[in-house]
Amino acid sequence: MCIVTGFNVFDVHSLKNMWSLITSTLAKRVQVIMTCGLTPQKLALTLCLGIAFGVIPLVWGTSLICIILAHVFRLNHVALQSVNFMLFPVHLALLIPFFKLGAWLFPRGPQVPSHIFAALIRNPGLSLHILGWITLKSLAAWLLTVFPATLLAYGILRTFAFGENSQTKPPGSLLE
């Protein structure tokens, strides 16, 4: 008992026990929400699509694309958006490499000025045209690189991580 306040003060061990109880239940609840209704195959597809569209070289629209994909493939929206949002720093880091790869793979079209920001301010109409070409080329580079990588990752996840013919319930399922 604390002499100053008159209240019982928890010792460190009971606080650690309370914290582990709270975090374990919270972790179980998050696991149930993230895997709710997903078979291992759908969980693998969710991870692969979330990663693939989390790094798409678009400055807008990845969340909308993920919502549409989750609806079309009947995937968990929360899990797909979570993977998409977790990859935002990677998305930003890969914008320039995709732009450069697209320009190298597809040299046709207008040349990108070395001082793109100055060109944006000077001539906005032409700049939108150049940005459209940059985006188109980078999307093509993304498609050529991410599509095979996603198929490979999906095959590996399905086969080794979740089992090829596994129709069992996902971990953390409410039916356990």
The residue ranges of every structural domain in the chain are 38-161
Quote the pLDDT of residue 26. Answer: 63
- Provide the 10 A C-beta neighbour count for residue 131: 16
Quote the pLDDT of residue 30. Answer: 66
For residue 176, name the pLDDT band (cuts at 50, 70, 90). Answer: very low
Terminal CA-to-CA distance of the chain, rounded, Å?
42
Quote the pLDDT of residue 41. Answer: 85
Spell out the long-range contacts of 35-39 with Cβ–Cβ below 8 A and sequence spacing 24 or more. Answer: 35/76, 35/79, 35/170, 35/171, 35/172, 35/173, 36/76, 36/173, 36/174, 37/76, 38/75, 38/76, 38/79, 38/170, 39/166, 39/167, 39/169, 39/170
Quote the pLDDT of residue 152. Answer: 93
Quote the pLDDT of residue 174. Answer: 40
Quote the pLDDT of residue 165. Answer: 54
How much is the mean pLDDT over the chain?
Answer: 78
Report whether pLDDT(37) > 70.
no
Report whether pLDDT(169) > 90.
no
Report whether pLDDT(143) > 90.
yes
pTM for this predicted structure = 0.68
